[in-house]
Structure 1
Amino acid sequence: MTNSGYTLPVFACAAAIAALHWLRQRQPIKVVSLDLIEPAKLAEIPVEQVAGLSANMALAITRSDPGDNLDLTRDTPIWALVEWGGVEGEQVTIKGGEGIGKQINADDQAAIYSYAQRLLKENLTRLLAAEERIIVTIILPEGRSLAVRTSNSAFGVVEGLSLLGTTGISQPLSSPAQLDAFRSELQQKASLFASLVFCIGENGLDLARKMGINPERLVKTANWLGPMLVEADALGVQEILLFGYHGKLMKLAGGIFHTHHHLADGRREVLAAHCALLGLSQQDIEVVFHSPTAEAVLKHLKSLDDSTGSAWVNRVYSAIAETIDARCQEYITSHSSRGQNTICGSVLFDRDRQIIIKSKTACNIMGNLC
């Protein structure tokens, strides 16, 4: 049986509730019951430790359990420091401590996003009298070291992890059970629309909505792009727009249709090969091939354009986008018994959620999606 576990915001909220309980009762609590809000159900979260630091301050610790998800936060401790006081008019003030990332595009605000904010505030406010105020500081002691193994910096979050997500249930994005859930959503939306948008993760979903794409046409795929493309074709979907972060989506140009980093990478090979085919100098190709991230390659190409008046970003990424489209068509055709296959177009964006390139097919598809 699949164990879906819970997301980091849930454990942060449980720790905060346990710390507040100590401030009130001067007694530790072993298990916290909290409202997940999304979905509307209660969760029972074990508390590892509670300590009173002063008459007005307490610390509680929980430990992450993401269930069957391949998640690097498994077993990591989550601390919540709760103290009386705060901002006038705000019953619950939330702060990010050590290990919580900073949003460099939002004046270094703590990377504690809307669901986490709502979860903490709604659960804690229910426990407070009308005149009471508290300050909650969330700390991830291992957050800074774990962050270097994520793509957080690619999306402008540095020095730690994010409290991100739209639900309290941890979705095991790499498990077959999660693929079944994605396919079920695809089947439902394919019955309504001939043109759909595939987004690997939350950043793509959010940006697509902001661009005016009809949210009902959005389908989350996580890393299961290959099976989802084949399923869409079997369901008779006419057009798929692949909408994703360039460091993920370019893997398709190398024939990698399950994009989890534990299985395959190939980004530097894709980038270096396209740069070589387009005539980039040997010296710059070596820089590209040895760059630590796709974002670093993009930065290097931009610097070449700025210094020489060239158009390497557009040339390289146009070629990659067209290759993605072609490889997707080949993949679908090789797995399909239909005579007329689903058409694919691709849109790639960068760490700042700015569109880098739209393939020719993507430009044609986008008019059907709003």
Structure 2
Amino acid sequence: MDKPLRTGRTTGTCASAAAMAGVRFLLAGERPGTVDVPLPPGGNLAVPVERLEPLDGAVRVTVLKDGGDDPDVTHGHEIQAVVRAKPGDGPLRVVLDGGKGVGRATLPGLPVAVGEAAINPEPRKQIEAAVRRAAKEFGGRILVTIEVPEGETLAQATMNPRLGIVGGISILGTQGIVKPYSHASWKATIEEGLSVARAMGLDHAVFTTGRRSERFYLERHPDTPPQALIQAADFFEFALRAAAAHGFRRVTWAVFFGKLVKQAQGLDSTHAKDHPVDFALLAERCREAGCAPALLPAIREANTAVQVLGMLHDDPALNGLVHLLVEKAREAAEERTGKLCAVLYTVFDFDGRPLAEVSPRPTP
């Protein structure tokens, strides 16, 4: 029996825990080993406190990010809160900012305004709720600065530089917990990328399935604005619906042959584990395109799209097959945009050689 996958905690929850522990130390002298952090949808999560360091008039609390069985680039790294309490008259006011290793927005279209620390709206509310719970009846101001010591280095492995978030990572998390393989953070990155591109006046989004397809596309189209490039991975339906919702009227998919085959099947997601290639259908497409009949039985029994492409390497009908698959994929793509976007395809073999580059139909 498979071992159950372990959930983790978001950077927003880690920051909330650190802030909460800091408030309890300053106001009550406590050194909690764990804190019960309020989660955005409701409920609590017990989060261990790694370290607590008193400062001059403040405290620095460290919590380790734990991504569970779906770790991201921040997994295992320190998320910190530097907390200060300023007693005063009137109700409690929580002042939140980002420090070392937390990025700042420099482009419009993000969930935070230009110039603000990249602490997204839901984590902001979560951190404030945690502080207020710990502060109880305290009156005055509590100042919280979120820091990530390795954040500037970690950010280079994220989409933040392209999104105009400079100096570090973003503090994220709409649910407070990380569900293994939920892909929520990747979907959020797609949304943010599209939002930034539209805020910059772009009306053409280029979806790639990863860094390699992006690199191959840029080699052919070096003048493409960086913000137009969105790594959409396997999220075929989600990315297209999001593009239409953001007002894009042209979309390019830069894909390898295997992803094209799956998109031509009309799959909402092209993930290898849960959405396999239909080799019987692919063999039928090969027959329609005029591929050698003798190859069809082997195509039906193939294990990978790479294998099929190798079989067809010298078949003169390969070009026709690729264009047929593009048409099927484009029909599926445009349907998912509500026919609001015209779709273009650039297709590569597995070494990056172009198999096809198909222009869009006129914009609907």
Give 1:213's aligned residue: none
Q: Distance in 2 between matches of 1:320 and 1:124?
A: 45
1:335 to 242, 260, 278: 278
Return closer, same or farther for 1:363/1:343 CA change in 2, 3 Å cut-off: farther
Give 2:124's aligned residue: 117
Compute the TM-score of the two structures, normalised by the length of structure 1: 0.57
8 A contact 2:208–2:254 mirrored in 1: no
8 A contact 2:205–2:252 mirrored in 1: no
* RMSD of aligned residue pairs (Cα, Å): 4.2
Q: Distance in 2 between matches of 1:152 and 1:363?
A: 31
8 A contact 1:98–1:143 mirrored in 2: yes
Shift of 1:42: 1.3
Matched, 1:295 2:226: yes
8 A contact 1:99–1:159 mirrored in 2: yes
8 A contact 1:50–1:58 mirrored in 2: yes
Q: Distance in 1 between matches of 2:254 and 2:153?
A: 37
Give 1:76's aligned residue: 77
Shift of 1:347: 10
Q: Distance in 2 between matches of 1:30 and 1:330?
A: 53
Aligned pairs for 1:220-259 (under 5 A) are 246=206, 249-251=207-209, 259=210
Q: Identity of counterpart residues, as a percentage?
A: 23
Shift of 1:111: 0.3
CA deviation string 1:322-367 (max 9, x = no partner) = 979966553549628789997213999xxxxxxxx84257965xxx
Q: Partner of 2:177: helix, strand, or coil?
A: coil
Q: Distance in 2 between matches of 1:112 and 1:319?
A: 30
Q: Distance in 2 between matches of 1:332 and 1:164?
A: 32
Letter in 2 for 1:23: L
Shift of 1:29: 1.4
Q: Partner of 1:148: helix, strand, or coil?
A: helix
Q: Distance in 2 between matches of 1:154 and 1:346?
A: 29
Q: Partner of 2:333: helix, strand, or coil?
A: strand
Shift of 1:16: 0.8
Shift of 1:37: 2.5
Give 2:11's aligned residue: 8
Aligned pairs for 1:1-370 (under 5 A) are 1-38=4-41, 40-54=42-56, 56-85=57-86, 91-105=93-107, 106-128=113-135, 129=137, 131-173=139-181, 178=182, 201-205=187-191, 246=206, 249-251=207-209, 259=210, 265-273=212-220, 275=221, 288=222, 295=226, 320-321=252-253, 329-332=263-266, 335=278, 343-345=332-334, 358-359=342-343, 360=360, 364=364
How many residue pairs get matched? 254
CA deviation string 1:167-214 (max 9, x = no partner) = 1011333xxxx48xx9xxxxxxxxxxxxxxxx951144468899xxxx
CA deviation string 1:121-163 (max 9, x = no partner) = 1121123225232000111000011111111111111110001
Give 2:357's aligned residue: none
